[in-house]
Amino acid sequence: ETDEKNNEKRTKTSDVSQEYDDNFEEDIDDAEKNVPDDEELSSRLSNYDEDSREGQFYENKSSQNESSSQPIAENSEYDNVDEEDDGTYQGVPLSEITNVCQQPPTIIDMKDVCERTHTFLIKPFKYTSTDPDAEPQAFYENGTYVDEWDQNYVRLPCSQSYINKNGTQRWSIIQESLIKLQHLAETHMASMDDIKETIEECAGRSYELNCLERLLNEVYTVDERAHFMSAVLSNICTLALNVDKICSRPPPLLRIGSNRTVTMSQKQAASLLSCAFFCLFPRRFNQKVGSEYENYQNPNFNTLFQGGRKGGTTWKLEKLRCVFHYFHRITEKMPNGVISFRRYQLPESCVPKWTESTEPLCKIHITKNKTIEDMDGLLQVDFANKYIGGGVMNEGCVQEEIRFVICPEMLLSLLLCEVIQPNECIFLIGCERFSSYRGYSTSFQFKDNYIDETPKDSWGRKLCHVVAMDAIAFYNRSSQYTLKNMKRELIKAYTCFRVPAALTDPKAGIATGNWGCGAFNGNKQLKAIIQLIAASQAGRPLVYLTFRDQNLVLSFYKVYKYLLDEKATVKDLCTYLQQYTTLYNKITLFDYILETPDETLNITERWRKRLEIKYKLIINGHEEARGVGSKYERIPEGSNDRYAQWANNLTEEQLYTQMMMIKTQLLDLPNELFLYIFQYIKSSHLVQIFSEIKSFRIQALIQSFISHVDISQESEQWIQTYVPNLFNQQNLIALRLQDKYLANISQYLSSSDIQSMHVISSDWTTDILKEGLDHIQQHIKQLWITFTYPHGKGDIANQLFQSDSQYEYLNITGRFLYFDYDDINICTLLTYLSIELEGMHRVFALIEHLPNLQELKVKFRTEERLVQPKPNLDSVITHNKLYRVTFIGCTKYFDHLENFFSTFGSTIEYLTINIDLMYYIIDGKRLENGLLNKMPCLSSLDIIIYSTAVYSNPLDIETFRSTTWQKFNPIIFWNDTHAHQKTIFTLPYKSDRFKHLSNDFISSWISNRSVSLCFEHVHTLSLITTTPLTLETFQFIEKTFLNLKTLELTDPIHLPEFEYENERLRNIPHLNDSFLLNRTVQLLSVTKFSFLARSQYDNYEIFHRFLHLLPNLIYLQMYIGRSLYREILTHEHDKNFIMNALIRIKLLQMVHFYDEKNILNNEEIHYLFPNAQILFDYDDI
């Protein structure tokens, strides 16, 4: 499907110059996704070119000026929507409609919520009217920030994983830029150019922020501008700079089907919106087909600030005034309430049987002069785009967009929410209103400050419940009368209106109106009846606001009164809709209902069956494409361009040399050029280059670039010369160094602010490391240790786990640690631990000594000949804070894993297992009983389990089809009968390595539910040849391994009891004839090929075919012997192709198969690989 979409996209070529390039963020082509048929199209209508210089607004043939589903046709009617209400209405009075402000719902205390699908960014909080100034506190205390950096969470800019391609953390760059702007604001010196420069430095992109500039320089009065550019702007900087402390962890994304809720404080919402102001949320600019956020809105404010050559439409300026008024208000006084965002999916079991429903019609109140946001205490309907927020960041200015700018906390739904599916909705609970307004659409204007006096519930949330209800956009108006589309809208409305049966409070009324009847071309009468059916089925009264349409007030009530007198039920109204499908062009729906005799309301069996069939189609949802704006990257202009190109075209060594030679001339450069230059130089070189320059300006500019310094490759003389000056820099946060220099820096730790340290240990012994650890344990909060000599001693546990250590985060890689129970002490501060161990018994010992451990990652090693002791379960003290566990590596003791989860599983929410069980195979029943049933809070499960089971029976996939397994991601099982390998894994496949693929996979994999395969996270794939690899296998790889970087060809596992089979496998050709002859398949993303098989490595045909398969190969790992060398020279007709391919190789890693007679000399190697660096996997050359 992605390939088909990409084939249809429209692209625009432009020069790009990317100052900052997120290591994970793709360059964006201007893409416009294909438009599906009009019956199912409800995509984003405003197709804004968010990254172009001009901020130009584009329309494709399916786009309109508005992005929501409210009316726009008769704007003259709406110029005075704030006109005083004349009080007229039809139906019951409002006093008879249940109102949550008058009858607050009963909700349990926040501390008692144990749903694993509800994430709190705050500690349990209880609001009382006697203490209205109490403030919610962040979930983690004392400025602690616990990061998540994956597709399930918002990627916050403060994450350590947010880095440039050169490894520089982006947060330090952002901090530097924001601090500079904040200083300018506080000294009343900030200008529009300073804001623009800061946004561009933070986002790494260039924008023309004409709408923002026009607001500040032309619309605002002198006093308004001065206040914003000083106090308000400084406060926005503060909130963005402290997002890690204010939020303490990233909120989860509310993904399709997740049924998740996230609750946060209004201060946390303000911090996140401040990040959006400076366009800090990474990757959200990229919304092309196949990108990570193609199904999300862009929450960054770049498009809100853009306005084309004229500086933006008047209504867009007024929207921006509303948002800035919010920042003005929170600067005066930060609100102390709580808000929630909830994604809800209607369970299939809760879908009503419409044609059998005898539910009576609900109460109704119909009026024309009120707006939905004024209906306090009712469920207020947001006439949403399925991409929530619609065109709020662009030109859209109707019901949804207006609601979001007068209640800007709702803008966070753009950050959190994936595209809404037909049986889903989004609830926005407790969002405060800050602005009043007049007009509508093109006449919209910010009016004045608004004091929201809505009372709060016991959680501190205002009793304001809004539901985002998206309609279909009908580009062919007649298509809305098909059964399929009427039922889709009916199920959507019911999803939004339904109250769970477990709730016994009186059901509050629903405030709605002409849903989907503007830009989406819905018929008012049809939408009124659909909403009446859904509200009646949900048992909730309906307040219907016709938006100044008096005719609709009268006609709707006439039909309602007629139905009420006839004692009509839900099933009767459904029958009217069924029978009206062929009459819509002859008579209006209201007239049809009024003129149809009662006897025609009998629902025949034919209609009932048709309804059920069509309904199933709707509940499954529909995939729809949407338009995406173009993207341009900034090209620095004028002299800046000249200097930037000069820096870009130098290697790091050349740039370093130039700067050492011309320090004096460099001091004459403007500040912004240093930011271009500094990013190309290693932090340690910056320290050296500028150590003797006393310029305050230069030292201030360089601070953010030397907050994280890598001195691991520097000499002892360098350490002695520059380290004292390095620690004098007050913002040194993190340091990477060799263990032998820990003693050199110990004297500076007590007076520095350093928090993190990465220690490299290259010795077999740990004596030097242990001595160094004794110096740092009371000063460092985060410690990484990487052993580059893996087989040495692992006896540092005594130095790591001391009762007085300050470690909160420990990550030990490259060596397995050995210790006894008495070697370690209780450490109360440690919350994160990643370690390599030999056996589960040591895990138990660690957890007993780490009472506040929250996240644990363990790599196991098991040697077949060794017997590991069982964990001691007798005196285990369990702790209730461990919520994330990752087990990887190899073990033959699955029962030890079961012991772990029986003991510690009660609090675990996230589990990842990537384990080789050696000769043991585990089915779904045992995994369920031994693992899943021991973890009642488990919400996320990712497993990969390998087994080499020769004599075992095939695994029964039915053991993974229980109700318990259906709560988690799909399971894939495949059995390679030739290689005796069995693999179990969940989808999506999360590991970056797929270590066993053969021809058998395509035909033999099975799943516990219907799935399509895609391995987008896999970067390394290992192929084995149990049968010659076929064309179909490589076509499968091309289609499903979309981001593959490394391809390996390896031998199957050697099984001593199967020598005959082993010999047969060694003689099997690696590639079959059809693939050798077919040249259509190419793996364009692969840049490294490892030929690790111990046979046919000198086969010229195989070598030639792999070179053609991998046209972008630059890293080759294999044995190149004399026989292959001669073959290459012999094939003259292929020589040009072969040599051109080998010229591209930048790195050749020679694998040794003890074939000394065939070894090439250096001259021969360099003849074949003239541009390659040569590495050897063996020591005898």
CA separation for the pair 362, 540 (Å, rounded): 6
The band of 736, judged by pLDDT with boundaries at 50, 70 and 90, is very high
Asked if omega into 988 is within 30° of 0 (cis), the reply is yes
Q: Is 1100 helix (H, G, I), strand (E, B) or coil?
A: helix
Question: Does a structural domain hold residue 961?
Answer: no
Confirm if 712 and 736 have CB atoms less than 8 A apart: yes
Question: Does a structural domain hold residue 1166?
Answer: yes
Q: Which two tokens stand for residue 809?
A: 């985060």
Confirm if 920 and 949 have CB atoms less than 8 A apart: yes
Question: Does a structural domain hold residue 265?
Answer: yes
Q: Which residues contact 126 (CB under 8 A, 6 or more apart)?
A: 109, 110, 111, 458, 459, 460
User: Considering just the CA atoms, what is the radius of gyration of the chain in Å?
Assistant: 33
1083: left (phi over 0), alpha (psi -120 to 50) or beta: beta
Q: The domain containing residue 180 runs over which residues?
A: 118-343+352-619
CA distances from 794 to 726, 786, 1118 (A): 31, 12, 32
- Which has the higher per-residue pLDDT, 330 or 875? 330
- Which has the higher per-residue pLDDT, 644 or 35? 644
The band of 103, judged by pLDDT with boundaries at 50, 70 and 90, is confident
Over residues 892-920, mean pLDDT: 89
List the one residue out of 640, 645, 692, 706 whose CA is nearest residue 669.
640
What string of DSSP letters covers 951-995? SPPPP-GGGG-SHHHHTS--EEEEEETTTTEEEEEESS---SEEE
Q: What is the dihedral of CA 35, 468, 425, 526, to 10 degrees?
A: -70
CB burial of 564-600 (b: ≥16 within 10 Å; e: otherwise) equals eeeebbbbbbbbbbbbbeeebeeebbbebbeebeeee
State the residue for tokens 């403030």.
135
CA separation for the pair 742, 323 (Å, rounded): 51
Q: How many domains does the chain have?
A: 2
- pLDDT higher than 60, residue 599: no
Catalytic center residues = 382, 400-401
Confirm if 247 and 271 have CB atoms less than 8 A apart: yes
**Which CATH number covers residue 1115?**
3.80.10
Question: Does a structural domain hold residue 651?
Answer: no
> What average pLDDT does the structure give for the chain?
82
The band of 162, judged by pLDDT with boundaries at 50, 70 and 90, is very high
Q: What is the dihedral of CA 694, 696, 699, 704, to 10 degrees?
A: 170
Confirm if 470 and 42 have CB atoms less than 8 A apart: yes
Confirm if 401 and 70 have CB atoms less than 8 A apart: no
Over residues 1049-1058, mean pLDDT: 64
Query: Is there a binding annotation on residue 676?
Result: no
Termini Cα distance of the chain: 51
CA distances from 686 to 262, 465, 654, 663 (A): 43, 54, 14, 12
Identify the pLDDT of residue 647: 55
HEC states along 43-70?
A: CCCCEECCCCCCCCEECCCCCCCCCCCC
HEC states along 898-952?
A: HHHHHHHHHHCCEEEEEEECCCCCCCHHHHHHHCHHHCCCCCEEEEEEEEECCCC
Over residues 696-706, mean pLDDT: 75
State the residue for tokens 């341009």.
632
Q: Is 852 helix (H, G, I), strand (E, B) or coil?
A: coil
- pLDDT higher than 60, residue 56: no
pLDDT in tens, 1145-1174: 999 998 865 566 678 888 888 889 999 998
Q: Which two tokens stand for residue 831?
A: 């919350």
CB burial of 865-874 (b: ≥16 within 10 Å; e: otherwise) equals eeebeebeee
955 - beta bridge partners? none
Q: How many residues can be counted in the chain?
A: 1181
- Which has the higher per-residue pLDDT, 16 or 673? 673
Question: Hey, CA dihedral for 1134, 1084, 1089, 1026, is it positive or negative?
Answer: negative
CA separation for the pair 927, 278 (Å, rounded): 47
DSSP state of 41: -
CA separation for the pair 252, 287 (Å, rounded): 19
- pLDDT higher than 70, residue 83: no
State the residue for tokens 């440039």.
164
Question: Does a structural domain hold residue 379?
Answer: yes
Query: Is there a binding annotation on residue 485?
Result: no
Q: What is the dihedral of CA 288, 293, 299, 304, to 10 degrees?
A: 0
List the one residue out of 475, 514, 656, 439 whose CA is nearest residue 70.
514
State the residue for tokens 């190309």.
680
Over residues 1088-1109, mean pLDDT: 87
Identify the pLDDT of residue 263: 97
CA distances from 1039 to 880, 1020, 1091 (A): 44, 15, 22
CA separation for the pair 441, 1086 (Å, rounded): 50
Q: Which two tokens stand for residue 213?
A: 């500039």
Domain boundary among 619, 645, 676: 619
Identify the pLDDT of residue 681: 82
Q: Which two tokens stand for residue 301?
A: 């404010």
Question: Does a structural domain hold residue 86?
Answer: no
Question: Does a structural domain hold residue 709?
Answer: no
918: left (phi over 0), alpha (psi -120 to 50) or beta: left
pLDDT in tens, 934-962: 999 998 999 999 888 665 666 788 899 99
Identify the pLDDT of residue 295: 94
List the one residue out of 454, 59, 474, 391 whose CA is nearest residue 399.
391
- Which has the higher per-residue pLDDT, 903 or 660? 903
List the one residue out of 1002, 1000, 1045 whose CA is nearest residue 1024.
1000
Domain boundary among 562, 591, 619: 619
List the one residue out of 470, 517, 628 whose CA is nearest residue 60.
628
The band of 1047, judged by pLDDT with boundaries at 50, 70 and 90, is very high
The band of 611, judged by pLDDT with boundaries at 50, 70 and 90, is very low
Identify the pLDDT of residue 124: 94
Burial class (CB in 10 A: 0-12, 13-18, 19+), 235: buried
CA separation for the pair 501, 645 (Å, rounded): 65
Domain boundary among 570, 596, 619: 619
Query: Is there a binding annotation on residue 449?
Result: no
Identify the pLDDT of residue 546: 94
- pLDDT higher than 80, residue 603: no
CA separation for the pair 312, 846 (Å, rounded): 60
583: left (phi over 0), alpha (psi -120 to 50) or beta: alpha
Identify the pLDDT of residue 46: 34
Question: Does a structural domain hold residue 472?
Answer: yes
Q: Which residues contact 767 (CB under 8 A, 6 or more apart)?
A: none
CA separation for the pair 397, 316 (Å, rounded): 8
Identify the pLDDT of residue 674: 72
DSSP state of 817: B
